[in-house]
Amino acid sequence: MKNFGTLEYVLDKYSGTWTWKITGVRAIMMVANLIPKLWYGDGPNEVIVPDDENELIKAIGEAEELADVIITTGGTGISPRDITTSALKKIAEKEIKGFGEAMRIFGVRYTPKALLSNCSGFVLNNGKIVIALPGSPLAVRDYIHLLGGLIKHALDMAKGKGHENNN
């Protein structure tokens, strides 16, 4: 894989509105201990897009050009503005439901609010993977550690490499 990137739902301090920010710094730092540098590439690219489903889908398309795995943070709850999961379902070929189930099972040990999350994983039609995480930095850290060892295997499977190429 050439690159590893994230798409984060953040409060834009300049405009005071919620926006999407494409970055890789936080995720790369968290997975650095789990995954060799060769796997995640040289670093992130960054762009901010407005909080809009169409803009999010467009941003995911742009991120696909740069990364095989895209991690989104935020927008996975049940409020009207939480659009990440519904937008990803529109463009995904498959949902990796086990990722979401595992995250909720793990998270509920710390807070019952984890059950309100629609976090999940998705396979795009080009075999690339999007992992939709909650916005909580602690949840992002925990879930990256939870899923870290599975991400490369999931990517290999999504690209049709089969089990024989995975250890």
Over residues 121-125, the mean pLDDT reads 96
Lowest mean pLDDT among 23-37, 116-130, 143-157: 23-37
* Domain ranges across the chain: 4-165
SS3 9: strand
Predicted TM-score of the model (pTM):
0.75
For residue 5, is pLDDT > 90? no
Contact criterion met (CB below 8 Å) for 2 and 67: yes
State the architecture of 4-165 in CATH terms: 3-Layer(aba) Sandwich (3.40)
* CA dist., res. 92 & res. 83, Å (int): 14
Could you say which DSSP state residue 116 is in?
A: G
Q: Give me the phi and psi of 161, to 5 degrees please.
A: -80, -20
The number of residues in the chain equals: 167
Least-confidence region, from 41-45, 62-66, 80-84, 131-135: 41-45
Higher pLDDT: 151 or 28? It is 151
